[in-house]
Amino acid sequence: MTLNDAQDHTTDVVVVGGGNAGFTAAHAAAARGRRVILLEKGNESESGGNSYYTAGATRIAHRGLADIADLIDQDQRHTVTEVPPYSADEYAADLAKVTDGRNDPDLTEVLVHESLDCVRWLHQRGLRYRLMYERQAYKLPDGTYQFWGGLHIGNTGGGQGLIADHTRVALAEGVDIRYGHSVTDLIYDNDRVTGVRFRRSDGSAGTVLAESTVLAAGGFEADAEMREQHLGAGWSHAKVRGTPLNTGEVLAAALSIGAGKGGDWTTCHSTAWDALAENNESNRELTNRLTRQSYPLGIVVNNRGDRFLDEGADFRNYTYAKYGKEILAQPDFIAYQIFDSALRPMLRTEEYDMPGVSETVADSVGELARILGIGARGLETTIDEFNASIDRSITFDPTVKDGRAARVQPPKSNWAAPIETPPFYAYPVTCGITFTFGGLAADTHGRVRRDDGSTIAGLLVCGEMLGGLFSGNYPGGSGLAAGAVFGRRAGNIA
């Protein structure tokens, strides 16, 4: 880091935001010999944006394990592991499926075809990746591992490892990282952005003049008023999973100079999140471990004892980012994931065995309901009807969409297993908001557009600030992939 007390600076490229997308843009610009200053709103101890809080999962198109063996950490389990190919066409189809076709086709085309090359480029620069056994594979009775759901690799060390690697690489490249610098305005002169104004954490202000400004400062999910304004009533009750610093000021600064809105400003990425754990917002120690994502194996009920969604509609990777919204719509903004002792060993250890996990255990469904404050008869009836409706002629198999359904309302389309073997387990969950899907309008290189389609000279965008890829839902791991792909594209022309 450059320690410079001057308040006004000049450089080739200024990057606003020190998460995955911002760092990737900085790497790409630095690789072209550009002088880069990266401004991070957080102090060093609170930096990294939402990327720090992730599990590091990164969705890429590939042709199987042999195709990605050169970029993942070696593991003795590789010899007994099946990683299905995941084509660019499948990737594009998944994006279209989960967004109901509202994903921008041009952005999608770039993402699905450049994802593997971009991750390999980052790996060559020094970022580390691995197969995500604990999150995306099941160990089969024969001792082999089967990956599922199109999402297979992640950063070594999760989000913390991702940001540590990015920081180390950027410093080696000569990127000037400045923590505690909150961008307040864009400098807009003669229809061109020529830099930014900032305020430091000590209260002093200054400017960075640059030929190109790359915005990678995230959305507005940490601002309760903006959530209520754009997402709707009740969203102030959502728990902020990631950084508390994504409060929308940089988005507002871009809109104020004529940038157009891109994507869906009315929806977001939201998940099932531990409702009662201490310090369950923006927790830099536990980060992503507060999520509860083994729900496809069990059932989810509200505090009336009623089921309200199809837990097995699809692989978790394709439903988890929209089910937070469904939980938020329930009475008191809470729900309960319920499993029996036969299912409990299959739950993700990193999440359901984390320190301080909210867990209720009881020897009967009635006792479980009493402890939770749910009417026992309602919960018992829900579980009895669910158990009786399961098509037990189909073998339960969590590695595929097995079609083992429970014919109730709402149905459970896959992985229906009876809740019948004591003890019984319940995990209270609420809505955890990750990031907002609305951002700025831009072309596929990140050049920010006005509403009339013209571009604003000198201004680029990437990461969660780039609108258009996601709406209503999201395929797991595509956010970090998109941040890298479009961060590199922005840095390549900055």
Residues 44 and 162 in one domain: yes
The total of structural domains in the chain comes to: 2
Residues 419 and 457 in one domain: no
If we measure between CA atoms, which residue out of 360, 354, 361 comes closest to residue 334? 360
Residue 1 falls inside a structural domain: no
Residues 305 and 185 in one domain: no
DSSP 342-397: TTGGGS-HHHHTSTT---EEESSHHHHHHHHT--HHHHHHHHHHHHHTB-TTSPP-
Task: Copy the structure tokens of residue 377.
Answer: 């008869």
Residue 246 falls inside a structural domain: no
Quote the DSSP letter at residue 288: G
Question: What pLDDT, on the 0 to 100 scale, is given for residue 230?
Answer: 98
Residues 133 and 206 in one domain: yes
Burial class, 184, CB count within 10 angstroms (exposed 0-12 / middle 13-18 / buried 19+): middle
Rounded to whole angstroms, the Cα distance separating 488 from 22 reads 9
Residues 198 and 84 in one domain: yes
Residues 63 and 205 in one domain: yes
If we measure between CA atoms, which residue out of 248, 412, 232, 245 comes closest to residue 328? 232
Residue 306 falls inside a structural domain: yes
**pLDDT per position as a tens digit, 442-455:** 999 999 999 999 99
Domain of 204, CATH number, reads 3.50.50.60
Residues 82 and 193 in one domain: yes
Question: What pLDDT, on the 0 to 100 scale, is given for residue 3?
Answer: 38
Full domain range(s) for residue 344? 269-432
Residues 203 and 316 in one domain: no
The backbone torsions φ and ψ at residue 153, rounded to the nearest 5 degrees and listed phi first, read -115, 160
Residue 194 falls inside a structural domain: yes
Rounded to whole angstroms, the Cα distance separating 59 from 458 reads 30
Residues 208 and 317 in one domain: no
Helix boundaries (H) for 182-232 = 224-230
Residue 250 falls inside a structural domain: no
Residues 51 and 180 in one domain: yes
Quote the DSSP letter at residue 99: T
Residue 238 falls inside a structural domain: no
Of 404, 432, 460, which closes a domain?
432
Residues 427 and 442 in one domain: no
Question: What pLDDT, on the 0 to 100 scale, is given for residue 375?
Answer: 86
Rounded to whole angstroms, the Cα distance separating 83 from 317 reads 16
Rounded to whole angstroms, the Cα distance separating 465 from 139 reads 38
- Which regions of the chain are under pLDDT 50? 1-5
SS3 call for 455: strand
Rounded to whole angstroms, the Cα distance separating 251 from 218 reads 8
Residue 136 falls inside a structural domain: yes
If we measure between CA atoms, which residue out of 383, 146, 427 comes closest to residue 293? 427
Residue 472 falls inside a structural domain: yes
How many beta carbons lie within 10 A of that of residue 394, not counting itself? 13
Q: Return the bridge partners of 488, or none.
A: none
Question: What pLDDT, on the 0 to 100 scale, is given for residue 6?
Answer: 58
**pLDDT per position as a tens digit, 224-247:** 999 999 999 999 999 999 999 999
Residues 462 and 415 in one domain: no
Domain of 384, CATH number, reads 3.90.700.10
Question: What letter represents residue 465's amino acid?
Answer: M
